[in-house]
């Protein structure tokens, strides 16, 4: 993958796999980056030397700006639309079915699909500037693919509010509603806590952790079909006149 399309790197050491993604446009997510992230999660989940996964993004700006608007603009038919949104479905399924805990480090704002990544994680730590927002309805597509895991994590009422008004919620709101386990004032404090949690999990029983994770995501066995149907809906809606006009005005 070229730098213009973003990068995904995995480093492994001491029982910890650190998966890091980056994109020059606020860590947004084109299809190729989504596929590489899903592949990295699968590979780390299958690696017997790995006990825990840390997921993070690069830079000092946004944690993740969500879907790539450049790719949304380029979609010309429903098949291509479904394929793009299936990238989010594939990543979410990889994360929730990975046998290792995924500890996610959120250093900045998370939008749309970025909130989906947060919700599909098992344990999330963030800074106090890590606000969250679901902006999909504002561009005519709705948070369909990411919705099930966000609703499962924060409940229907909070998810409904996020989906309807598309306002920013601050990190304290996200912590109160269960997206974040804790928030921290500085990046150094965040990184120190992420490292401490990961080191603790490295010494835990991997079979016990795998069993606990199965319990976390019990009831999602039919999400393959659910998320595919949601991706198909999004792939159709993105071609509507409303969506085309709204997306055209975005960066």
Q: What pLDDT does 54 receive?
A: 98
DSSP 249: T
Report pTM: 0.96
Q: What pLDDT does 2 receive?
A: 46
Q: What CATH homologous superfamily does 3-202 map to? A: 2-enoyl-CoA Hydratase; Chain A, domain 1 (3.90.226.10)
Alpha helices in the chain (DSSP H): 31-46, 69-74, 78-97, 113-120, 147-154, 156-165, 171-176, 187-202, 206-216, 223-237, 241-248
Q: What pLDDT does 251 receive?
A: 54
Contact predicate 153/92, CB 8 Å: no
**pLDDT, tens digit, 9 for 90 and up, residues 1-60:** 445 789 999 999 999 999 999 999 999 999 999 999 999 999 999 999 999 999 999 999
Q: What pLDDT does 1 receive?
A: 43
- Tokens 């924060």: give the residue: 154
Q: What pLDDT does 164 receive?
A: 95
Query: In whole angstroms, what is the distance from residue 194 CA to residue 141 CA?
Result: 34
- Below-50 pLDDT ranges, the chain: 1-2
Q: What pLDDT does 138 receive?
A: 87
Residue 243: burial class (beta carbons within 10 Å; 0-12, 13-18, 19+) = buried
Query: In whole angstroms, what is the distance from residue 55 CA to residue 57 CA?
Result: 7
How many other CB atoms are there within 10 angstroms of residue 158's CB atom?
A: 19
**Number of alpha carbons in the 13 Å side-chain half-sphere of residue 35:** 7
**Number of alpha carbons in the 13 Å side-chain half-sphere of residue 157:** 2
Query: What distances in angstroms separate CA 237 from CA 4, 23, 77, 135, 193, one per listed residue?
Result: 27, 25, 10, 15, 41
């Amino acid at each position: 993958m070229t730098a213009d399309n973003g990068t995904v790197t995995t480093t492994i050491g001491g029982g910890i796999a650190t998966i890091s993604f980056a994109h020059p446009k606020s860590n947004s997510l084109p299809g190729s980056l989504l596929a590489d992230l899903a592949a990295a999660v699968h590979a780390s989940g299958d690696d017997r030397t790995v006990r825990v996964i840390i997921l993070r993004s690069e830079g000092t700006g946004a944690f993740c700006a969500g879907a790539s608007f450049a790719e949304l603009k380029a979609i010309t038919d429903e098949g291509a639309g479904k394929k793009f949104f299936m990238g989010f479905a594939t990543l979410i399924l990889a994360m929730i079915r990975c046998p290792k805990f995924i500890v996610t480090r959120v250093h900045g704002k998370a939008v749309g699909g970025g909130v989906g990544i947060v919700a599909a994680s098992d344990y999330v730590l963030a800074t106090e500037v890590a606000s969250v927002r679901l902006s999909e309805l504002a561009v005519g597509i709705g948070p369909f693919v990411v919705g099930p895991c966000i609703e499962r994590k924060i409940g229907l009422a909070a998810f409904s509010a996020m989906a309807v008004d598309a306002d920013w919620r601050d990190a304290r709101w996200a912590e109160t509603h269960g997206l974040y386990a804790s928030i921290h004032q500085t990046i150094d404090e965040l990184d120190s806590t992420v490292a401490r949690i990961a080191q603790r999990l490295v010494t835990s029983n991997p079979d016990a952790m795998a069993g606990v994770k199965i319990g976390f995501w019990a009831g999602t066995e039919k999400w393959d079909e659910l998320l595919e149907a949601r991706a198909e809906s999004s792939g159709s809606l993105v071609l509507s006149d409303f969506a085309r006009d709204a997306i055209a005005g975005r960066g």
